[in-house]
Amino acid sequence: MARVDLPDGDDDELLRLYGLSPAMGAAAGNFTAAVYGDTSLPTRVREAARIRIAELNACPVCLDTRSTSDPDGLTEEEYVQIADWRDIATFSPRERIAVEFAERFTTDHLNLDDDFWLRARAEFTDPELFELGVCCASWLGLGRMTQIFGAGVSCRIEL
């Protein structure tokens, strides 16, 4: 249940939350659309990072969101085991770096040291790392906003 008064309507609370300020809601929606529609990051890389941030944010909407449009995306088992990402045998080195980046972006951003950047730059181009940073900023910020305002959705979001 939302922690603020939402506009009346039949839409999910999350959409009505964005309707409190149509201009800001549209900007947030456009940011989200760019994160999913304009990135060159593969689905598995993107989703591994996203679901780790969702877990750290404790955002119910984000935790229940799944990418179903790409048959090469994460498995349900990978989604639910993301806290133990270091032990997920099916993760590639790129996916592990992406999850580590997301985790540290969320919990320890001041300690992305030279060793991390050497490993990250061995797996990603600089433009890809920038895209990963923009994606993480979106998931962290908008996920926390969704969680703190208590805005929910009535069914699973599928990307």
145 token code pair: 């906003």
Beta carbons of 121 and 114 less than 8 angstroms apart: no
Rounded average pLDDT over 59-70: 82
CA 143-148-149 angle, to 5 degrees, is 100
The letter for the amino acid at 87 is D
- Residue-averaged pLDDT of the chain: 91
Beta carbons of 57 and 143 less than 8 angstroms apart: yes
Rounded-to-integer distance, Cα 92 and Cα 144, Å: 28
Residue 155: pLDDT over 60: no
Q: Which domains does the chain have, with CATH numbers?
A: 13-149 (1.20.1290.10)
> What is the per-residue DSSP string for 33-84?
HHHHHS--S-HHHHHHHHHHHHHHHT-HHHHH-B--S-TTS--HHHHHTGGG
Residue 69: pLDDT over 80: no
Q: What is the pLDDT of residues 41-59, one digit of tens each?
A: 999 999 999 999 999 998 8
Share of residues in the chain with pLDDT > 70 (%): 96
Q: What is the pLDDT of residues 1-13, one digit of tens each?
A: 888 999 899 888 8
3-state DSSP assignment of residue 157: coil
Residue 154: pLDDT over 80: no
Share of residues in the chain with pLDDT > 90 (%): 69
Predicted pLDDT of residue 60: 83
Residue from 120, 155, 134 nearest 50 by CA: 134
Rounded average pLDDT over 18-28: 94
Model confidence at 22, in pLDDT bands (50, 70, 90)? very high
DSSP lists the bridge partners of residue 66 as: 158
Q: What is the pLDDT of residues 101-130, one digit of tens each?
A: 999 999 999 999 999 999 999 999 999 999
